[in-house]
Amino acid sequence: MTNKELARRIIEKMGGKNNITQSWHCITRLRFNVRDKNAVNLTEIKELEGVIGAQYQGGQFQIIIGNEVVNVFNEVSKILGLNPEAGAEQGAKGNPIERVFDVISGVFTPILPAIIGSGLLKGFMAILLATSLLSDQSATYLILNGISDAAFKFLPFLVAFSAAKKFQTSASVAVALAGVLMYPWQELINNPEITNLSFLGFMNVPVGNSYASSVLPIILGVWLLSFVERLAKKVVPNSLTIVFVPLICLVITAPLLLTFIAPLGTMIGTYLERFFTMLFDVAGPFAGALLGGLMPLIVITGMHYAFFPGSFASFEKFGYDVMLLPMSLVSNMAQAGATLSVFFKTKDSKMKQVAFSAFVPAMFGITEPAIYGVTMKLKKPFYASLIGGAVGGAIFGAFTVKALSFTVPGVLALPTYLDEASNNFIFALVGVFASFAVSFIVTWILKFEETETAEQAPATEVIARSGGPTHIVAPITGEVKQLADCPDATFAGEMVGKGVGIIPSEGKVVAPFDGVVTLTTETNHAIGVTSNDGVELLIHIGIDTVNLKGEGFSREVNEGDVVKLGDTLLQFDIERIQAAGLSVYSPVVVTNTADFLDLVSAVTTGKVSSGKDDLIIGIN
């Protein structure tokens, strides 16, 4: 499936483009806000080729794509044609916690490339300094340092622009608010003892605070801006909107931001930083083991974004992070170790290929392919990765390992742990090696191959191992039912032949194999096809639908036509059948059942997709 087709199918399963209010992506996931979450079919989205997994978390629908996420997102954007600055409706509100996670995720995800790129540059500079290839007194170092520092020092500008999109307000006014926070007030006053200014005689504006590298003050400020702008647009005539709405927004929002909101945001960030610092000071190894071991579960639920404000507050105050990035690093390396162990141990060639392709991005900090494609699928390797992450986390917590810059927690992040004043880098290497090795060894010891793989193998694979099956693919998309449940006694009693029933969800019949059309009817409610290897299959749409005399049915082929797997044979109107009070239960039976040793259902319950999923297996 091409990226364009995958994007089209995802939007279709999301309830259509009109159901999507916002879309964005992170390193591996598409993220959506929708109007009606009940219109989203997560089950069918998970079954799409190219989708690793899908879930509803934090007020968002998250679809894990992996390495192709950017390309798929570009195709999604083309189809949706959404203007992020337009006043689109917000998605489902959810509970307060979900809304907070949704906001944090929506604000930080779009700006991660700038932050990660700057962090990696700092890491490479640390290597150059440690190897004496670069002097910290050189002009080159000063320029590179300025480039790597800019995104962090002026972080409020990046956050303002991203928050404006999330809160659907004016991006330019939001960035202007960031400028208000970053404005050098005290330099203009030229008196460091003056930390407050009186505004309008009744507001006391603090001007001694530094908001460089801060995130919560500007997020809260842009949130307030979104309300002020909507109110201003209601009272200002449309012809004067472009002139007076920005004026009103700045005059009202900026003083409130400086006086109340920014100090409040700073206070919240400070307490978050103090809480996490205290946690590691009081119970470093225990806290590290707990977070290092549970980080994959935190990432799966999307809750890791909740740690971002605390991490940035720690960077702003101390210049390092002891929680989110270090714990994510050992957790990611544990996933990589477990996945590599699966690669070496498994005898399944397909799983071996999947494991290796997931191992490489896991080493660089992208673990969703490893989690969803390998470790969680096999279960025991996932447990092993939790153990490995806990061991590495305990080591990091015991020695208070610090990440000195924000970047993707993979092997390329190791230079950001270089600290000439301590053994921080050595402890980081020990923790990373321990988490990788422990998860590798535990995965190797656990006998996942003889349990989970065999249990999860599809019925078609089990039969294939017994030799020579004939595969009949589903000709109709819908829910599979046992033939014994058919309302027609002739079909239910297998008098016509063995098979299954389908409750169609799509009004189309396709060829279930390569073959020839051997039976048609005047009313087009049934069709027979014979495969090239001798399977004679009857597809009957609904029960007693012959009484419709062809209404709601159209045939695309004639008797004697050669067809290929997936070719359209019939079209039918499900609603027309139901309106006539008739059952849409559609038998699919092999009329030459006697030519086979046995016929078994490849799927006993659940949904099948026409032209794709196996429906019946013939044992020759």
pLDDT (tens digit per residue) in 205-214: 777 677 776 7
Lowest mean pLDDT among 276-290, 449-463, 469-483: 449-463
Q: What is the mean pLDDT of residues 111-131?
A: 77
Give residue 101's pLDDT: 63
Of residues 60 and 163, the one with the higher pLDDT is 163
Give residue 620's pLDDT: 56
Return the beta strands (E) in 193-348 as ranges.
196-199, 203-206
Q: Which residues contact 394 (CB under 8 A, 6 or more apart)?
A: 285, 286, 288, 289, 292
Residue 52 to residue 9: CA distance in whole angstroms: 15
Give residue 385's pLDDT: 92
Q: What is the mean pLDDT of residues 168-183?
A: 89
Write the CATH number of the domain with boundaries 460-619: 2.70.70.10
Percentage of residues in the chain with pLDDT exceeding 70? 86
- Per the structure block, which two tokens stand in for 606? 């659940």
Q: What is the mean pLDDT of residues 379-390?
A: 90
CA-closest candidate to residue 541, choices 503, 511, 498, 495? 503
Give residue 98's pLDDT: 61
Which of left, alpha, beta for 513 (phi over 0: left; psi -120 to 50: alpha)?
A: beta
216 three-state secondary structure: helix
Strands ordered across the beta sheet of 498-504: 562-563, 515-520, 526-531, 536-540, 586-590, 498-504, 478-482, 607-608
Give residue 388's pLDDT: 93
**3-91: which CATH topology?**
Gyrase A; domain 2 (3.30.1360)
- By CB neighbour count within 10 A (0-12 exposed, 13-18 middle, 19+ buried), where does 21 fall? middle
The answer on pLDDT for 495 being more than 90 is no
Q: Which residues contact 444 (CB under 8 A, 6 or more apart)?
A: 341, 344, 345
Give residue 303's pLDDT: 61
The answer on pLDDT for 302 being more than 60 is no
Q: Could you tell me the residue ranges of all domains in the chain?
A: 3-91, 112-277, 288-455, 460-619
Percentage of residues in the chain with pLDDT exceeding 90? 20
Give residue 430's pLDDT: 94
The pairing of beta strand 478-482 with beta strand 607-608 = antiparallel
Of residues 570 and 145, the one with the higher pLDDT is 570
The answer on pLDDT for 59 being more than 50 is yes
The answer to whether the CB of 452 falls within 8 A of the CB of 379 is yes
Lowest mean pLDDT among 35-39, 456-460, 513-517: 456-460
Which pTM was predicted? Answer: 0.52
Q: Catalytic site residues?
A: 26
The answer on pLDDT for 431 being more than 90 is yes
Tell me if 3-91 shares its fold with 460-619: no
The answer to whether the CB of 37 falls within 8 A of the CB of 77 is no
Most confident of 121-130, 234-243, 494-503, 508-517: 508-517
